[in-house]
């Protein structure tokens, strides 16, 4: 599938979700959802909660410190508990160990690349491929990422990477979660659940100088 931002991944996603609801009304299908952070995950969970049994996969070696990593991990776990309480959604969390060396390996030589450039592309590839591998190994029918919720993320690129990593066992869920006011929904839910909203993606290269 081509890297084309103009393709309507949100429409594709909605159509597929409707097919799943009609074919599996008891939420018998499961999905491994790569979670970059709790705020982005909130709106995606809200969209998928009535369709799937969801397992959040927290794997983000791009985060610059272990303290920041742990803070985001704990916020994600808190969100899963709160949304289960409020909506009865089935939400589990798998938290991968903090392995920043994996990010610095793929970022080497790209330290000065602009935001959204080659370093970011390879970071997306790293995280989505790891999610696909986990989905295959653990028997998830679908996998996806919350990354497309951000207005700064290219949904065409993310979906291209996702489709490149899907297999017959683990299918990529096409998505552009920023659509249908997804980003605004994440702000609303972040306020409701008093979530920590960070000011940068996580890596030291994107961190504002005044932080």
pTM, full prediction = 0.94
pLDDT in tens, 31-61: 999 999 999 999 999 999 999 999 999 999 9
Query: In DSSP terms, which residues pair with 53 in a beta bridge?
Result: 30
Residue 3 has a CB neighbour count (10 Å cut-off) of 14
Query: In DSSP terms, which residues pair with 144 in a beta bridge?
Result: 33
pLDDT band at 191 (very low <50, low <70, confident <90, very high): very high
Where are the chain's structural domains?
29-192
Question: What is the CATH class of 29-192?
Answer: alpha beta
Helix (H) or strand (E) holding 64: none
The pLDDT, as a whole number, for residue 209 is: 56
Round to whole Å and give the CA distance between 211 and 207: 7
The pLDDT, as a whole number, for residue 25 is: 77
Round to whole Å and give the CA distance between 119 and 125: 10
Closest among 174, 120, 137 to 9, alpha carbons compared: 174
pLDDT in tens, 66-105: 999 999 999 999 999 999 999 999 999 999 999 999 999 9
pLDDT band at 208 (very low <50, low <70, confident <90, very high): low
């Amino acid at each position: 599938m081509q890297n084309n931002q103009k393709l309507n991944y949100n429409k594709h996603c909605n159509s597929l979700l409707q097919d799943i609801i009609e074919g599996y009304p008891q939420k018998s299908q499961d999905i491994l959802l790569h979670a970059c952070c709790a705020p982005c995950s909130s709106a995606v969970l809200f969209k998928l909660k009535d369709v799937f049994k969801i397992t959040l996969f927290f794997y983000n070696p791009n985060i610059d410190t272990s303290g920041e990593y742990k803070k985001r991990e704990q916020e994600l776990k808190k969100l899963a508990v709160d949304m289960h309480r409020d909506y009865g959604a089935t939400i589990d969390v798998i938290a991968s160990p903090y392995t920043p060396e994996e990010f610095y390996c793929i970022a080497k030589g790209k330290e000065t690349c602009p935001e959204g450039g080659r370093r970011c592309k390879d970071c997306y590839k790293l995280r989505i491929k790891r999610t696909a591998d986990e989905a295959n190994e653990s028997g998830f029918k679908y996998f996806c990422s919350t990354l497309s919720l951000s207005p700064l993320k290219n949904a065409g690129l993310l979906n291209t990477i996702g489709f490149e990593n899907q297999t017959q066992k683990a299918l990529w869920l096409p998505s552009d979660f920023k659509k249908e006011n997804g980003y605004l929904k994440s702000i609303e839910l972040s306020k409701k659940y008093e979530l920590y909203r960070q000011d940068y993606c996580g890596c030291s290269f994107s961190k504002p100088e005044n932080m």
